[in-house]
């Protein structure tokens, strides 16, 4: 069996890093505030030029889409593992010891899908939720990163990097090794009040089918 050999060359062009932040959905610029109401916008944009060369993957192997399996030499302009981001949040005045906010975040890609000239860029609605916080902790209702596996993905050293070509969306974003990708989904999540080093959340989430490959 021959090995999969791949080389990837990426040149970062953080083209217009508008309001860039380490956690784009959580940071931004206060646009206006009045009588305790706050409206905040934030976002970032990135584009990479990338060239990759690989051999065709042997039958029965799986690369997790971290490298190209086609045996092609490919050049593309594309986003990294994290696509672009544009988010808006609205925070209400504190009432009765409760803090309430709503968040809407869009994650656009720059490249066309499927490597076609007339393909369209992908716009991913990853977050849309309402959250109320108080002495009891916080209660979130809506769509955001699922609870299981969240710590692994947000701690991944490759989060701000670039990987192999992918035909649809982000690169190196198919997270094929080491842990299950958390993904985004509808949920009701309670997070307990912070008690030093111990923190935990419990959530009820919209179910999803786990698809596996059994050819090897």
Query: Has residue 113 been placed in a domain?
Result: yes
Query: Has residue 67 been placed in a domain?
Result: yes
Query: Has residue 123 been placed in a domain?
Result: yes
Query: Has residue 215 been placed in a domain?
Result: no
Our measurement of the distance from residue 85's CA atom to the centroid of its chain's CA atoms, rounded to an integer in Å, reads: 9
User: Residue 95 belongs to what domain range?
Assistant: 6-205
Residue 87, both tokens: 């988010």
**What 3-state DSSP class applies to 16?**
coil
C-alpha to C-alpha distances, 193 to 94, 135, 137, 186, 197, nearest whole angstrom: 17, 7, 4, 22, 11
Q: What is the pLDDT of residue 103?
A: 97
Q: Which residues contact 27 (CB under 8 A, 6 or more apart)?
A: 19, 21, 42
Residue 166, both tokens: 């992918």
41 within 8 A of 28, measured Cβ to Cβ: yes
Our measurement of the distance from residue 96's CA atom to the centroid of its chain's CA atoms, rounded to an integer in Å, reads: 34
200 within 8 A of 209, measured Cβ to Cβ: no
Q: What is the pLDDT of residue 25?
A: 39
Our measurement of the distance from residue 197's CA atom to the centroid of its chain's CA atoms, rounded to an integer in Å, reads: 26
* Gap between the Cα atoms of 118 and 25, Å rounded: 30
Q: What is the pLDDT of residue 73?
A: 77
DSSP 164: S
Return the bridge partners of 98, or none: 95
* Gap between the Cα atoms of 139 and 203, Å rounded: 9
Q: What is the pLDDT of residue 47?
A: 84
The string over 81-95, giving b where at least 16 C-beta atoms fall within 10 Å of a residue's C-beta and e elsewhere, is bbbbbbbbbebeeee
Give the residue from 47, 181, 38, 43 showing the smallest Cα distance to 105: 43
Query: Has residue 214 been placed in a domain?
Result: no
Query: Has residue 210 been placed in a domain?
Result: no
Average pLDDT for runs of 10 along the chain of length 216: 46 40 49 82 85 69 56 77 89 94 92 63 88 97 92 71 54 55 91 87 86 52
Query: Has residue 216 been placed in a domain?
Result: no
Residue 14, both tokens: 């953080």
Query: Has residue 213 been placed in a domain?
Result: no
Number of compact structural domains in the chain: 1
């Amino acid at each position: 069996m021959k090995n999969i050999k791949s080389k990837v060359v990426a040149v970062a062009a953080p083209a217009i890093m508008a309001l860039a932040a380490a956690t784009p959905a959580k940071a931004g610029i206060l646009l206006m505030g009045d009588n305790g109401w706050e409206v905040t916008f934030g976002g970032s944009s990135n584009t990479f030029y990338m060239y990759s060369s690989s051999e065709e993957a042997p039958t029965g192997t799986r690369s997790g889409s971290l490298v190209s399996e086609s045996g092609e030499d490919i050049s593309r302009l594309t986003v990294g593992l994290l696509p672009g981001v544009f988010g808006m949040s609205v925070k209400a005045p504190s009432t009765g010891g409760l803090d309430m906010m709503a968040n809407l975040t869009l994650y656009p890609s720059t490249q066309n899908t499927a490597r076609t000239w007339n393909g369209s860029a992908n716009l991913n609605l990853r977050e849309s939720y309402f959250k109320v916080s108080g002495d009891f902790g916080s209660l979130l209702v809506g769509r955001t990163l699922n609870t299981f596996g969240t710590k692994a993905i947000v701690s991944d050293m490759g989060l701000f990097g670039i990987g192999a070509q992918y035909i649809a969306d982000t690169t190196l974003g198919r997270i094929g090794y080491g842990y299950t990708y958390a993904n985004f989904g509808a949920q009701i999540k309670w997070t307990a009040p912070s008690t030093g080093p111990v923190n935990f959340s419990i959530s009820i989430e919209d179910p999803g089918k786990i698809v596996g490959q059994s050819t090897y």
